[in-house]
Amino acid sequence: MDLFQPCWDYVEPRFARAAGIYPFFHQLDASEGPVARHEGRSLVMMGSNNYLGLTHHPAVLAAAKQAVDDYGTGCTGSRFLNGNLHTHVELERELSEFFGYEQTLVFSSGFLANVGVIATLGSHPGAVIFSEAANHASLIDGARLASGEVRIFEDPEDLAAQLAEGDSWEHALVVMDAVFSMTGRVSDLKAYADLKTRYGFRLYVDDAHGIGVFGPNGRGTVYEQGVQDRVDLLFGTFSKSLASLGGFVCGEERVIDYLRHKARSLIFTAGLPPSSAAAALAALRVLRSEGPELIDRLWENARYWKRGLESLGYCTLHSESPIVPAMVGSESLAFRISKDLFDLGVFAIPVPFPVVPCGQSLIRTSVMPTHTREHLDRALDAFKVVKKRYDIPEFDPDNLPVTESEDWSWFMPQDGAPAEPPAE
């Protein structure tokens, strides 16, 4: 078989485009935080991870601009060699202080951080990685790259059953998300921390979607649940609440220093661009100074938005975060609804299989403190229109349907007839 044959056989996006419901790679011409612009139209942005709305904060913008003047546009080399800036080091120092860890290591992206750290530690002789079944792709890929054994667990009870096979698991790393990015579900970190106390494994928590949202002054889910002292490695990103690009891992000094010299995704990648590092540092300082007010506004908007969707009849899956999903069911319906919302002036993203189980497609929304009630009401009006337009099933969030894994309905056109692929 020709190496490119799977590429030539990959027809799903072509079918979706032919059906007029392809929802990805929209080109945005401008962004103002809660509002984006597309071809001259104003869209209420309900599909962002900009949880604190800091991407347009004056201090963040000024820091990024000053960094370009001071350092130029890029590092042009690995931090290991010539790309380690004063801003990187200062950012790591302030992150360590804020989160209460001995040291922090900053990577050029969150994906690189998760992949690099898990692959490195999971390749030690005898290492075992326990990975939560719904983990982010970067956590999954880090486990795949590790040479040690990988086990999958579903929840604390499943993990406990697997750990019961041995008396001690000091050679194991348990890897998990704190807040799940599509559904807003929050993990019971205390249950996992209690298992760590009993079995002695190392605990790695990805709190990308919890930092800036939960805990005192936005320190995250580990602080919200009081387990910071039992989380060995804390991961976070700058691309959510901290308004930039990049990822970081906090931990014990000697562990971080080891990763600094061994993590291939750090050593063989150019350093985080100066403007991105400076923007993240400025956003962290804004969080430290303005955090309580920003977080209060965020949660006020989140509660208002969630109540609004539920009053329209949408199932929001017991979301416990500013990520509020609206369940719609089939992939094709999610794509059609997303397109209609876009046409009605609302940017909200569909989440189909395989990101979620088949038959559980949803529209993923999130709010920020910079949304006004006018923004949210405008978006709710659009959701009301599509709710009337389509026969969206009533879902029991505790008993969701799951169809067979081979579901091709997502690229079917609106009338249900199979679409013809576009001509070459």
At residue 402 the predicted structure's pLDDT band, cuts being 50, 70 and 90, is low
What pLDDT, on a 0 to 100 scale, did the predictor assign at position 203?
A: 98
What percent of the chain clears pLDDT 90, i.e. is strictly above it? 82
pLDDT greater than 70 at residue 326: yes
Shared domain for 26 and 99, answered yes or no, is: no
405 as an active site residue: the answer is no
Answer yes or no: is 284 within a domain. Answer: no
**Domain carrying residue 82:** 75-272
Residue 65 lies in a domain: no
For residues 234 and 317, state if they share a domain: no
Q: Which two tokens stand for residue 7?
A: 């590429």
Given this model, what pLDDT does residue 44 score?
97
CATH code, domain with 380: 3.90.1150.10
**Domains contained in the chain, number:** 2
Residue 101 lies in a domain: yes
Q: Are 17 and 88 contained in the same domain?
A: no
Q: Which of 88, 136, 196, 240 is catalytic?
A: 240
* 232 assigned to some structural domain: yes
Q: Does 310 map to a domain?
A: yes
Say whether pLDDT at 422 is over 60: no
Instruction: Give the model confidence (pLDDT) of 282-298 as tens digits.
Output: 999 999 999 999 999 99
* pLDDT for residue 245 is more than 70: yes
CATH at 194: 3.40.640.10
80 and 139 within one domain: yes
- Of the pLDDT bands very low, low, confident and very high (cuts 50, 70, 90), residue 93 is very high
Taking only the tens place, the pLDDT of each residue in 39-80 is: 989 999 999 999 999 999 999 999 999 999 999 999 999 999
Q: Residue 418: what pLDDT?
A: 37
407 compared with 296, residue with greater pLDDT: 296
Q: Taking 80 as the threshold, does the pLDDT of residue 416 lie above it?
A: no
296 and 196 together in one domain: no
Q: Which residue type occupies 90?
A: E
CA 356-359-363 angle, 5° bins: 60
176 found inside a domain: yes
Establish whether 240 is a catalytic residue.
Answer: yes
pTM for the model: 0.92
pLDDT number for residue 19 = 86
Given the residues 88, 136, 196, 209, the one annotated as active site: 209
Q: What is the mean pLDDT of the chain?
A: 92
Catalytic residue among 138, 181, 241, 332, which? Answer: 181
Instruction: Give the pLDDT score at 417.
Output: 38
Q: Which pLDDT tens digit goes with each residue over 340-379?
A: 999 999 999 999 888 888 889 999 999 999 999 999 999 9
Closest CA relative to residue 214, chosen from 295, 282, 127, 286: 295
pLDDT of residue 353: 84
Q: How far apart are CA 362 and CA 125, in angstroms?
A: 41
Asked about 181 being catalytic, the answer comes back as yes
Cα(325)–Cα(204) distance, integer angstroms: 26
Of 239, 237, 281, the closest CA to residue 63 belongs to 281
Q: Are 132 and 48 within one domain?
A: no
Confidence check: pLDDT of 408 > 90: no
